[in-house]
Amino acid sequence: MPLIPIVLTCSFLFLLSCVIVFAENQRVRYTHLENEVLKVR
């Protein structure tokens, strides 16, 4: 029985790290696009 909370916690942390990495990539891409637009202007 004690295995279930451990697995849930591990999967939750894994999903959380995936979301954080995805958000960072989106933010970096967004700022990169903004810089490109500023260069074009």
Per-residue pLDDT of the chain (41 residues; tens, 9 = 90+): 689 999 999 999 999 999 999 999 988 888 888 888 888 87
Using only C-alpha atoms, the chain has a radius of gyration, in whole angstroms, of 18
DSSP helix/strand/coil, 9: helix
Model's pTM, two decimal places?
0.60
